């Protein structure tokens, strides 16, 4: 069984000096490829550097390059040039993490929208897929995406936590959906249980979002309380349960989907 983790924050300080052990545990669990998330220009550079340092084979670690809505207020005239240079690197396979976050509003909403549109324009220009973030902003995100969707090769709403209306809005735009350990949270994720069955094969991918979103159903729980890619198997188990699929079946089609979406090499 092979899995691909489409979103791991490997540059997070809590992972410092632990990268090799994390990768080894992931591989032992069947997580053979990972997308390292870039959330700022500096963070995207660090994500790329980690991929190169930790995977000389250029087969297992790849990254995204983008500016998260929390950092959108830092977007300026030079940001597009800087990001284009990152996106031209072979290990960088998607634009993002970019999007809208109207839940925490760390950056003013007009600046979030400006940074998002600039990054969507880059994705169109370079014909790269997009790794999207959305919190409490599905209507506005859908409205913006409609102007770009016909010209984008693909886009995934990562860590989907929304309601039915948002999900079907994204599916109607032919977007992909990323599911995390949020679905394992009995306090706030149970609404996802019936929804994941509605995501068509070929549009569903799995992600840890590590070190965040440790699956609450995981037993035994790690003493650190920190999530890592090896625990993606728990997300797999929970999603398979609510889709009425076997673990092997779900692993096969979500891995195939991620491999196509990010244009990743096959692991033999």
Q: Which residues contact 24 (CB under 8 A, 6 or more apart)?
A: none
Give CA angle at 157 (32, 139), nearest 5°: 175
DSSP one-letter string for 150-217: GG-S-EEETT----HHHHHHHHHTT-EEEE-GGGG-TTT-TTHHHHGGGSPTTSEEE---TTS---TT
Whole-number Cα distances in Å, 231 to 114, 143, 204: 35, 35, 18
| Token representation of residue 152 | 């984008």
Q: Annotated binding residue at 17?
A: no
| Token representation of residue 242 | 């609510």
Q: Annotated binding residue at 74?
A: no
Q: Which residues contact 143 (CB under 8 A, 6 or more apart)?
A: none
Residue labelled with tokens 């979002």? 209
Q: Annotated binding residue at 253?
A: no
Q: Distance between CA 25 and CA 48 in Å, rounded? A: 21
- Secondary structure class of 139 (helix, strand, coil): helix
Q: Annotated binding residue at 97?
A: yes
Residues in binding site: 97, 133, 158, 209
Residues in binding site for a divalent metal cation: 97, 133, 158, 209
């Amino acid at each position: 069984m092979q899995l691909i983790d489409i979103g791991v924050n490997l540059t997070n300080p809590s992972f410092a000096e632990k990268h090799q052990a994390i990768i080894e545990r992931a591989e032992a669990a069947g997580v053979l490829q990972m997308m390292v998330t870039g959330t700022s220009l500096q963070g995207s550079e660090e994500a790329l550097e980690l991929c190169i340092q930790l995977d000389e084979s250029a087969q297992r670690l790849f990254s995204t390059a983008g500016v998260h809505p929390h950092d959108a207020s830092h977007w300026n005239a030079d940001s597009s040039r800087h990001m284009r240079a990152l996106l031209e690197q072979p290990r960088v396979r998607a634009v993002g993490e970019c999007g809208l976050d109207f839940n925490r509003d760390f950056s003013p909403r007009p600046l979030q929208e400006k940074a998002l549109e600039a990054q969507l324009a880059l994705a169109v220009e370079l014909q790269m897929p997009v790794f999207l973030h959305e919190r409490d902003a599905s209507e506005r995100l859908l409205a913006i995406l409609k102007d770009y969707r016909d010209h984008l090769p693909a886009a995934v709403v990562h860590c989907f936590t929304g309601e039915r209306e948002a999900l079907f809005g994204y599916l109607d735009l032919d977007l992909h959906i990323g599911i995390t350990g949020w679905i394992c949270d009995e306090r706030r994720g149970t609404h996802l249980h019936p929804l994941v069955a509605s995501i068509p094969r070929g549009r569903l991918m799995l992600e840890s979002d590590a070190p965040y979103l440790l699956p609450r159903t995981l037993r035994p729980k790690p003493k650190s309380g920190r999530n890592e890619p090896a625990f993606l198997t728990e997300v797999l188990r929970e999603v398979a349960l609510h889709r009425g699929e076997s673990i092997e079946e779900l692993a096969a089609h979500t891995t195939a989907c991620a491999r196509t979406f990010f244009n990743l090499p096959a692991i033999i």
